[in-house]
Amino acid sequence: MHLSLLTALTQSNCQILTIQQYSNIHLNLNDKVSFFKKHHQPLFFEISTAACPLPYTVHARVQAALTFPSSAMAPRTVSLILYRNAATQRAHFAIFIPSAANQDLGTIIHVIGAPMAGYQLEFKRNYSPALTQQPHTRYKIGQIDSQYIVDAANDAPGKDSTPKGAVELAAGQVPPPGISQSFLGPVDDTRNKRCQEWTMEYVRHLVHLQYLDAGAIQIVQSKRDPPTHGVGLQPLGRGQELGGGGQAAGT
Question: Each residue of 216-230: pLDDT tens digit?
Answer: 999 999 999 999 999
Percent of the chain whose predicted confidence (pLDDT) is above 90: 57
- Give the Å distances, CA to CA, from 113 to 21, 107, 234, 247, 248: 59, 19, 15, 5, 6
The single-letter DSSP state of residue 242 is: B
The pLDDT, as a whole number, for residue 131 is 94
* pLDDT tens column, 20-41: 333 343 445 555 555 445 554 4
**61-86: average pLDDT:** 71
Query: Residues 148, 165: contact at Cβ < 8 Å?
Result: yes
The single-letter DSSP state of residue 248 is: P
The pLDDT, as a whole number, for residue 185 is 86
Query: Residues 115, 179: contact at Cβ < 8 Å?
Result: yes
pLDDT reading at 48 higher than 90? no
Query: Residues 168, 150: contact at Cβ < 8 Å?
Result: yes
Compute the mean pLDDT over every residue in the chain, rounded to the nearest whole number. Answer: 76
E strands along 48-196, which residues? 57-67, 76-83, 92-98, 106-114, 118-127, 136-144, 158-160
Q: Name the residue among 28, 119, 37 with its Cα closest to residue 70.
A: 37
The pLDDT, as a whole number, for residue 184 is 83
Give the three-state DSSP class for 123: strand
* pLDDT tens column, 164-206: 999 999 999 999 999 998 878 899 888 899 999 999 999 999 9
